[in-house]
Every structure is written in structure tokens, then in C-alpha cells.
Structure 1
Amino acid sequence: MSEFKILAISGSLRADSHNTALLRAARKHQPGGLDIEIYDGLREIPPYDQDLDNPQDRPAAVADLRRRIAAADGLLIATPEFNYSVPGTLKNAIDWVSTDWTKQEGLPLHRKPIAILGAAPTNFGTVRAQLALRQVFVWTDSDVVVKPEVQVFRSHERFDEQGNLTDETTINLVRGLLGALKTKVAAATATASAAR
């Protein structure tokens, strides 16, 4: 059986981000059948500009992200929380890939299976960011995994100095989340095949 392609995006730009480390852990501890690629171009995405949001004028980094999302079978997004919500860089990238003003390209996020998780050094960080992100994906009509929720509290206690996830409870939650994402992707793939 071929592997499903999952594009993983961290909402943090920090070099030592626990959210990015969480995506590396997801790649390492995945239940099998998933090819997880971690996207590293978020820093290159410029501020959203509707005047440039068309196939001819989009910045190259934006066009690349749209292609990657369209080609992926599913998305895995790790988000920290800024000011009770989604980091601006992540929301900005989503804004760029949520449109099709020309009605010619299709919507990369439409019905796309998506799993959300997050890590924070506090006892409650990432919770509101994940809720805000879920609300955004209601508008894009994406197929978001509901359970399990993966909110890694006091994340500095769950990773070692090399950035490896060491907490078995969290590892099992990540595996469960990826299993649920895989189920959604398999269902979406079967539906698409049947429609051909």
C-alpha cells in the first residue's frame, strides 16, 4: 500500500520551537502509512495582498505553498498561541491558500483532511489558538480531525535537550491524532477514486 502524503506546518519560526519539534516527533512516531514532510518556508510568505492573489501575480513562496497543499493528501498543523489566538504568520499563510478569485484553480483547503496539535510552556497555551484555527477551517470547509485533542502543556518538561519528545502519554496522543488523520485521508481518497 502506498503512503499518504502529509504536509506538516509549524506556526512558530523559532529555531528551538517545541511546535516544530512536535512535528518531528509526529514523523518519528507515526503509526505507519504516512509520508510526513515538514514545511520550512513560512518565514518567506509575504503579508497577504489581494491585489497579488491571482495565478499570474502571486509571490513564488505563496505559489509553492499552494502547490504543496494541493498535492498533499492531508495537513498536520502545530500551533503555538499568541495573544489568545493563531500566530499572525500562520494565519497569513492560510489566508493566501484559502482563495480562488479567478474560479479556475480550485481551493487547496476545501475538504482537505487536517489535524491540529500544539505545544506551550504554560498550562493552557495553544488551546485558544487551536480553537481559533478550527474556526478558520470552518470557513474553508476543511475536514478537521476532532479527537483526540493534542495540547502539550508544560512542553519544556516533555522534550529532552536535543528536542526529542520523551513523554509517552504525549507520544500516544500524537499517534492517535495521526491515526485519525490517516482514517480521514483514506476516506477522502476512496471518495475521490469512486467519483472518477
Structure 2
Amino acid sequence: MSPAREPETAPPPQPPDHGGREVLASDDIRRALKRIAHEILEGNKGHADLVLLGIPTRGVPLAHRLAEAVEAVEGTTVPVGSLDITMYRDDLRTQPTRAPEPMSVPRGGIDGKVVVLVDDVLYSGRTVRAALDSLADLGRPSAVRLAVLVDRGHRELPIRADYVGKNLPTSRAERVMVRLQDLDGVEGVWIA
């Protein structure tokens, strides 16, 4: 009789092979989003008139996760949507083949609401500028805030995040890669 074999299990998903180092693991991302949710609620004095709008691609699942964290604290759902910034980008002349991103604005719109824009990485500020232009076409919120998972610096426009998961000083030559389980099958933040 041969010895019993252990059942084979699939190896866990591996991080992207980019030669980089991991700066946030899955648990770190979860903790950062939970903290940001608390900060948003504290700054807004609760969930009233709050709307979360994710900037595609990875800002959308992050906005949904923030909404879940807010619901865990407040016991009520916060409207979540996504914002199409494609036609507002300032690089369309150099990259005219961009396809529009899906957009979904929560029922009730954004007029008079506190809108929190959610993105994965804040770098030059140009994506946020495009998001603000897109938002202006949708209505007039009472306030607009910005929540990002990573702020890597190197701003080209006078834009700053109100809520930051991790400040990550980088050089312009480095790349910051955010991977989320929902989209990429692996979760973490790497710098290469």
C-alpha cells in the first residue's frame, strides 16, 4: 500500500512579474480603505448627501469598497457611480484612439451633494482635472473631495487629495502598479 498523497491545490496567484517591490498587500489595502471611509464620514459629519464616484478603471471597484466600509460603520448605503473622463483628457490629440469608459451616475444626481472622487493613484493631477471637468457637466455638487489609494507626488497641476491610503514618494522613472482582485486576479500595490 502506497502512502496517501496530499490533494493538490492550486498555487496562490502571483504578483505581476515586474521586478518591483510590494508596498501594500491585500490586508494593507483593506485597512487603508477602512481608514479612508472613517475619515470621509468624520469630515462629512456622517453619510448625509454623500456620493462616491470612481474614476475608471481601478477607482470604480475602490469606490464600491469604500461604500461597503461606510455601510459597515453607518448601517446605510451610500450611492456609488463611475465617471467617464475620456473626452475631457488633455492628451486626446496624442492618443486619439481612447474608447469612452462606462459611466453611471447614481439616481438623484449630484446637485447639492458632497461628491468624493475615488482613484487608485494620484500622480500629475491631470486625471483629476479631467474628472472635475466631467463632473461640471453633470451638475453642481455642494463640495467635491478626492480619495486615492496611493499619492505618489509629482503634481503638474495644483491638485491634492483629501483622503490618502498611502503617500509613496517616487521618482518619475518609477512605476506604481495597483492590482485589485476584482479586475486582475491578484491584489496589492507594487513599485518598479
Q: TM-score scaled by structure 2?
A: 0.41
> Per residue, is there more strand in 1 or in 2?
2
> Scaled by the length of structure 1, what TM-score is found?
0.40
Between structures 1 and 2, the one with greater helix share? 1
Instruction: Give the number of the structure whose alpha-carbon radius of gyration is greater.
Output: 2
